[in-house]
Amino acid sequence: MKFIWLVPVLCIAVCAAAQDPATQPSSVTVNKLQLRANEDMAKGDYAAALPLLQKVSQLLTDQPDQLGPVLEQIRVCQRQLNSPAPPPKPVQSVVAAMGGVRQPHTPPAPGQILDLPIKELGNFDYDPEVGGNIPGDVLRLEGCRLRTSGFMIPLDQAEAIHEFALVPSLFACCFGQPPQIQHTIIVRCPKDKAVSYFPDELSVEGTLHVQEQKDGGFIVSIFQMDATSVRPAAK
Residue 144, domain CATH: 2.40.50.870
pLDDT bucket at 217, cuts 50 / 70 / 90 = confident
Residue 166, SS3 per DSSP: strand
Residue 233 CA to residue 201 CA, distance in Å, equals 6
Residue 53 CA to residue 66 CA, distance in Å, equals 12
Residue 186, SS3 per DSSP: strand
pLDDT in tens, 172-215: 554 456 788 999 999 999 888 888 888 899 999 999 999 999 88
Residues 235 and 149: beta-carbon distance below 8 Å: no
pLDDT over threshold 70, residue 75: yes
Query: Does 119 map to a domain?
Result: yes
Going by DSSP bridges, is the β-strand pair 185-188/202-215 parallel, antiparallel, or unpaired?
Answer: unpaired
Residues 158 and 24: beta-carbon distance below 8 Å: no
Closest listed residue to residue 153, CA positions, set 203, 115, 187, 119: 187
Residue 14, SS3 per DSSP: helix
pLDDT in tens, 76-103: 899 888 887 555 555 668 877 767 788 9
**Residue 183 half-sphere exposure toward CB, CA atoms < 13 A:** 22
pLDDT in tens, 114-136: 999 999 999 999 988 888 999 99
36 exposure class (CB count in 10 Å sphere: 0-12, 13-18, 19+): buried
DSSP secondary structure, 117-156, as one string: -HHHHT-S---TTT-----HHHHTTTT-EEEEEEEEEESS
**Residue 15 half-sphere exposure toward CB, CA atoms < 13 A:** 6
pLDDT at 173: 52
pLDDT at 89: 56
- Residues 68, 112 share a domain: no
Q: Global pTM?
A: 0.67
pLDDT over threshold 60, residue 18: no
**Domain limits for position 186:** 108-232
**Averaged pLDDT, 159-164:** 87
Residues 40 and 229: beta-carbon distance below 8 Å: no
- Residues 125, 63 share a domain: no
- Residues 112, 219 share a domain: yes
Query: Does 196 map to a domain?
Result: yes
Average pLDDT value over all residues in the chain: 81
Closest listed residue to residue 137, CA positions, set 106, 164, 181: 106
Task: Among 84, 100, 118, give the residue marking a domain's end.
Answer: 84
Residue 110 CA to residue 125 CA, distance in Å, equals 28
pLDDT in tens, 56-69: 999 898 888 888 88
pLDDT over threshold 60, residue 24: no
pLDDT at 150: 95
**Averaged pLDDT, 46-64:** 89
More confident position, 139 or 82:
139
Domain count, the chain: 2
More confident position, 150 or 37:
150
Residue 206 CA to residue 185 CA, distance in Å, equals 11
- Residues 191, 120 share a domain: yes
Query: Does 90 map to a domain?
Result: no
DSSP alpha helices (H): ranges in 24-63? 27-42, 46-59
